[in-house]
Amino acid sequence: MARCLADNQLENSTEKGSATTTTSTPKHTDLMTLMLQSGDATNPQEIQDACLNFYAAGKDTTAFSLSWFIVMMNRNPRVLCKVREELRRVVPDLFTGGLDTPTLEHLQQCTYLEAALKESLRLNTLVVYRLANRDTTLSDGTFIPKDARAVFSKYGSARQPTVWGADAAEYKPERWIDKKTGKLKKMSSFQFVTFSAGPRQCIGMRLAMMEMMTVLSVIFSRFDLETLMDPFNITYDFSLVLPVKGTLDVRVRSLMAHSA
């Protein structure tokens, strides 16, 4: 299914790219068309594989991450209030309908929103594993035979007091913000392992963060999303991508109607 979507997208983007000159680039275009126009990627197979990666790796992971953020906001209304305060200051037109979506410059100023999102991603993240292609001995002496599947628990790592402090299990966006500067702290990717680290780190990390921050800023500037179930009773299902168990049912209220 994903391969068929990638094939169709490549065909459509190729037609679009050939019909568009470099001096008449449309205001809105897709990533594949930009790749074709740049000339950096000319192998159709490489472009198709890149598209497939976006479909396969970026759909469920992003969707479930957004779901967990909604749960976190219901569990922590104090955080939601601070997120909205920041959005009202940085992008007030989102609340009035004067702006459909925030710009990249707006999102770069939304420090608390990014901290709240990263904290949700820290606590509610996917599982990763690797199949050993040869016998391996880790630095602590653990022997992993060839063809063994090694699973890394990001869920457990995110709750390690030795890594995150005594309050590791708490949802606390403030841990991401430098008290002196008010800016985001630079965390090692080997500490914040949601997007993995090293040469196998997620190549779509920055895109995913901007995508989620855009969606969340639009949703929470216009609507209240109240979970029908007690948010503290919402749990996860067994899966590599850690989805919310069952359906995430919410009651949606317009902020404008709610304040009227």
Q: Which two tokens stand for residue 6?
A: 């990638």
- Does the annotation list 110 as a binding residue? no
| Cβ within 8 Å of residue 70, ≥6 positions away | 225, 227, 248, 250
CA neighbours within 13 Å on the CB side: how many for 150?
Answer: 16
H helices present in the chain, as ranges: 2-18, 31-38, 44-58, 60-75, 77-90, 93-96, 104-108, 111-123, 154-157, 161-164, 205-222, 255-259
Distance from C-alpha of 190 to C-alpha of 200, rounded to nearest angstrom: 12
Which residue type does 116 have? A
List, as residue ranges, the binding site: 202
List, as residue ranges, the binding site for heme: 202
